[in-house]
Structure 1
């Protein structure tokens, strides 16, 4: 009888963990606005939106009157928009500050976050907005990091 109770306890703990893991994925709150140093001076129009994966199209939607604002995402999205699901890839977005921002699934992995930033660096055409030596060195450094990332995989 004791073994049966332990089995039910293990199942209960398992389902609780599955539920807690799935809650952010279902609500769309598992997205992150990345703080990209490459995009600091990269301009984009307020309504700019570029999807990395076709599966992500339609996930950035106008905010409904009852929807709560998300201060972490509001700095990366145009006013009045929200993300309704977890993103599979990178979304490059303009916002009210006039700069390009990278949005993707939340992660603590530096290589993945740098890939999101690199994708938006290309999509927002930041290369043509730079001046001086940074214009020549930026793509070289980006290429080296991407090569290192793919070598690690």
Structure 2
């Protein structure tokens, strides 16, 4: 819409500029001087409107560019956060809702499943959180001290868990 207004202003300026040139070429007497003055004043008015509209559009464009930079920055930040989450979590799909109704149930189900299927003993207190409403993410907190182990060592990160499962 703004570009259409700019084009109409440009067309009007072009038309008035042509009329001014024609009036200057035919300038002969008093009546022509009045017409030239009238056309010149109309041209100045349109030129002023055009410049103010152009300034407003440039200001709006700068605001949009700043908004775009903010969005790109936020998208990069979200991507970094998601990458951190993916590195620190194990996603367990297919947990039956009847088996994990509360967060504690979900965490216990995850601990049992990891113990049974991967032969890795992870104590329940090593799990930071396990939301029950999205993908059953199990996250270990690095600040906790490792739990005493029997024959297996306790994994503190996802990469350690993968390393343990490859060795066993």
Q: TM-score, normalization: structure 1?
A: 0.31
Larger strand share, 1 or 2: 1
Q: Larger Rg: 1 or 2?
A: 2
Which structure has more RCO (C-alpha within 8 Å, separation ≥ 6)?
Answer: 1
